[in-house]
């Protein structure tokens, strides 16, 4: 018995020592691995569909051509670990960016004096050479008052700051004012904010005050008019076109009952007319749920050829863009590329007293309509004017829409409306670095088409009912066999 106990003790001692050794080796490996990961700064793996926890392709593309050394100073931000981790993601993309953490501001009297800070204040400084951009913690968030959600914009803020300080000169975008149907600063507030965030200078232009379109105008934005422009405004815009000016036109002129002969002459420079009336779509796969006036179209353009995805836009009460015949376009030196057009089952309605959504004898014949186009007008061998026109301002606006009788969203947030509008302006201002699909951390609204909605509901409700019914049948059959 004694001998047996000694054997047991010896074997336990051997196996116990081995087990302890293995545990110690595992712990050592764990510590070593964590130390190595911390030292070499390996990028986190992000399996979320929209890459919410990693830098977007949009940011990576903007950093590709970075030829200046950038420093991101994190002042008194040690308690914001997520910010430090996010900032370090930029150093993984390019060695042109470095992070400088300053946790004890009391030892940096120079910074306190320069930025008027107290020892407890915090600040983010993005700088290169003598150019810099400062951000506060509040600049890393925004708030959606329609959903009462706080939205993280850390990446957007940091990336835009880097772009801004590395740009030699900001594009100058002028928005025609004075006679607009919608209050532009409110209706297009989201687009204007995005343009400014992407390092564009946005200004309002009253030609009657300035006497002309400024020489530094990189893009003139013309929106829906409440009344016609004057002859002076018409002539100055045409003069701008003949100098090779670039115009972005967002116009719902088709639903405004106003005679605009002077504005029509501006359109005629590109061989364009827009008739009165709104487009309705009868194909349920191409409308928002139960709203045939909200037409969904595929949209793309040659200047977005690097974007590897199908883009869609949703137009609300859009008009039909019509081009002159080939001979007239040739005479004007005009060529065009269709960006977006409606389906073959769509029609134009100009009698808005008709309540039926179905086509009537008063409506136009069925057929596709152009609602977005890129137009190039050759002035001379070395001068060309470009116009990008969408026959709908609402699609670019912050107009709230009720979807499916339950959800509310802004028109600009539908499908790829925002990216299409911003990319169009980026093309006109020759900012190829901002032609992209922008990352968003917002929750998406349920905005499927009527046909897709029917399919989804069928899957959710009908299939389970069928399975339950089959189960009951099988049970009854087996019961009778017994």
What CATH number does the domain containing 179 carry? 3.40.50.880
pLDDT of residue 157: 86
- From residue 179, alpha-carbon distances to 170, 210, 228, 263, 468 in Å are 27, 15, 7, 11, 62
Q: Taking residues 224-241, what's their average pLDDT?
A: 97
DSSP label at residue 458: I
Tokens in use for 312? 């869609």
Model confidence at 287: pLDDT above 60: yes
Categorize the per-residue pLDDT at 307 as very low, low, confident or very high, splitting at 50, 70 and 90.
confident
Q: Is residue 93 part of a domain?
A: yes
What SS3 class is residue 221? strand
pLDDT of residue 269: 98
Q: Is residue 133 part of a domain?
A: yes
Same domain? For 98 and 198 the reply is no
Same domain? For 317 and 410 the reply is yes
Asked if residue 127 lies in contact with residue 74, where contact means CB atoms within 8 angstroms, the answer is no
Q: Is residue 353 part of a domain?
A: yes
Q: Taking residues 281-304, what's their average pLDDT?
A: 92
Same domain? For 67 and 33 the reply is no
Same domain? For 193 and 216 the reply is yes
Q: How many CA atoms lie within 13 A of 365 on its CB side?
A: 1
Same domain? For 420 and 464 the reply is no
Name, in order, each residue with C-beta under 8 angstroms of 321's C-beta and a sequence gap of 6 or more: 272, 274, 369, 370, 371, 372, 373, 389, 391
pLDDT of residue 160: 86
Asked if residue 232 lies in contact with residue 210, where contact means CB atoms within 8 angstroms, the answer is no
Closest listed residue to residue 267, CA positions, set 225, 226, 313: 225
Length in residues, the chain: 482
Whole-number percent of the chain with pLDDT over 70: 79
Q: What is the mean pLDDT of the chain?
A: 85
pLDDT of residue 143: 66
Same domain? For 394 and 316 the reply is yes
Total domains in the chain come to 4
Same domain? For 203 and 89 the reply is no
Alpha helices, H only, 398-481? 417-428, 450-457, 463-481
Same domain? For 36 and 63 the reply is no
Same domain? For 187 and 219 the reply is yes
Categorize the per-residue pLDDT at 164 as very low, low, confident or very high, splitting at 50, 70 and 90.
confident
Torsion angle (degrees, nearest 10) of CA 470, 476, 481, 482: 130
Whole-number percent of the chain with pLDDT over 90: 54
Q: Is residue 19 part of a domain?
A: yes
Same domain? For 464 and 442 the reply is no
Q: Taking residues 410-434, what's their average pLDDT?
A: 93
Q: Is residue 343 part of a domain?
A: yes
* 405, burial (CB in 10 Å: exposed 0-12, middle 13-18, buried 19+): exposed
pLDDT tens profile 347-379: 999 999 998 889 999 999 999 999 999 999 999
Categorize the per-residue pLDDT at 163 as very low, low, confident or very high, splitting at 50, 70 and 90.
confident
Same domain? For 434 and 476 the reply is no
pLDDT tens profile 17-26: 666 666 677 7
Asked if residue 419 lies in contact with residue 438, where contact means CB atoms within 8 angstroms, the answer is yes
pLDDT of residue 9: 52
Asked if residue 363 lies in contact with residue 349, where contact means CB atoms within 8 angstroms, the answer is yes
Residue 460 or 181, more confident: 181
Which structural domain range is residue 477 located in? 458-482
Q: Is residue 150 part of a domain?
A: no
* 302, burial (CB in 10 Å: exposed 0-12, middle 13-18, buried 19+): exposed
Residue 53 or 417, more confident: 417
Same domain? For 305 and 402 the reply is yes
Asked if residue 185 lies in contact with residue 481, where contact means CB atoms within 8 angstroms, the answer is no
Model confidence at 446: pLDDT above 50: no
Model confidence at 445: pLDDT above 50: no
Asked if residue 394 lies in contact with residue 317, where contact means CB atoms within 8 angstroms, the answer is yes
Residue 209 or 1, more confident: 209
Closest listed residue to residue 442, CA positions, set 193, 145, 138, 198: 145
Tokens in use for 360? 């009537």
Model confidence at 396: pLDDT above 70: yes
pLDDT of residue 33: 67
Closest listed residue to residue 136, CA positions, set 119, 113, 161: 161
Model confidence at 443: pLDDT above 50: no
Q: Taking residues 439-456, what's their average pLDDT?
A: 54
Question: pTM of the full predicted structure?
Answer: 0.74
pLDDT of residue 361: 94
Tell me how far apart the terminal alpha carbons of the chain are, to the nearest angstrom.
63
Range with the poorest average pLDDT among 100-114, 288-302, 309-323, 400-414: 400-414
């Amino acid at each position: 018995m004694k001998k047996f106990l000694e054997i047991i003790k010896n074997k336990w001692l051997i196996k116990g020592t081995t087990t302890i050794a293995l545990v110690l080796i595992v712990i050592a490996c764990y510590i070593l691995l964590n130390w190595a990961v911390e030292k070499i700064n390996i990028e986190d793996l992000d399996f979320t569909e929209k890459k919410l926890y990693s830098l977007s392709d949009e940011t990576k593309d903007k950093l590709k051509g970075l030829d200046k050394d950038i420093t991101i100073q994190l002042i008194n931000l040690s308690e914001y670990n997520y910010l430090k981790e996010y900032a370090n993601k930029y150093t993984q993309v390019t060695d042109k960016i470095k992070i400088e953490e300053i946790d004890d501001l009391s030892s940096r009297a120079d910074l306190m004096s320069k930025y008027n800070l107290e020892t407890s204040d915090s600040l983010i400084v993005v700088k290169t050479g003598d150019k810099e951009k400062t951000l506060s913690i509040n600049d890393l968030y925004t708030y959606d008052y329609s959903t009462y959600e706080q939205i993280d914009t850390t990446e957007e803020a940091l990336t835009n700051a880097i772009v801004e300080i590395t740009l030699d000169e900001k594009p100058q975008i002028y928005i025609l004012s004075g006679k607009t149907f919608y209050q532009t600063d409110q209706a297009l507030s989201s687009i204007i904010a995005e343009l400014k965030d992407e390092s564009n200078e946005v200004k309002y232009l009253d030609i009657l005050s300035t006497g002309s379109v400024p020489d530094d105008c990189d893009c003139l934005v013309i929106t829906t008019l409440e009344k016609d422009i004057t002859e002076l405004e018409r002539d100055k815009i045409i003069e701008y076109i003949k100098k090779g000016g670039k115009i972005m036109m967002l116009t719902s002129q088709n639903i405004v009952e106003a005679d605009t002969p002077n504005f029509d002459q501006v359109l005629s420079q590109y061989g364009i007319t827009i008739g009165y009336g709104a487009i309705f779509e009868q194909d349920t796969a191409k409308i928002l749920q139960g709203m045939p006036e909200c037409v969904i179209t595929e949209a793309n353009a040659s200047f977005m050829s690097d974007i590897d995805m199908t883009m869609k836009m949703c137009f609300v009460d859009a008009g039909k863009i019509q081009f002159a015949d080939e001979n007239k376009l040739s005479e004007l030196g005009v060529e065009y590329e269709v960006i977006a057009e409606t389906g073959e089952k769509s029609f134009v309605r100009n009698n808005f007293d008709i309540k039926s959504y179905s086509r009537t004898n008063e409506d136009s014949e069925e057929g596709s309509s152009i609602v977005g186009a890129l137009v190039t007008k050759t002035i001379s061998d070395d001068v060309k004017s470009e116009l990008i026109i969408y026959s709908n301002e609402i699609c670019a606006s912050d107009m709230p829409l009720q979807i499916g009788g339950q959800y509310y969203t802004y028109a600009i947030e539908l499908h790829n409306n925002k990216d299409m509008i911003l990319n169009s302006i980026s093309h006109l201002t020759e900012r190829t670095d901002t032609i992209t699909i922008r990352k968003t951390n917002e929750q998406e609204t349920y905005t499927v088409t009527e046909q897709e909605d029917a399919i989804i509901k069928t899957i959710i409700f009908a299939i389970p009912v069928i399975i339950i019914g089959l189960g009951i049948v099988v049970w009854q059959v087996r019961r009778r066999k017994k």
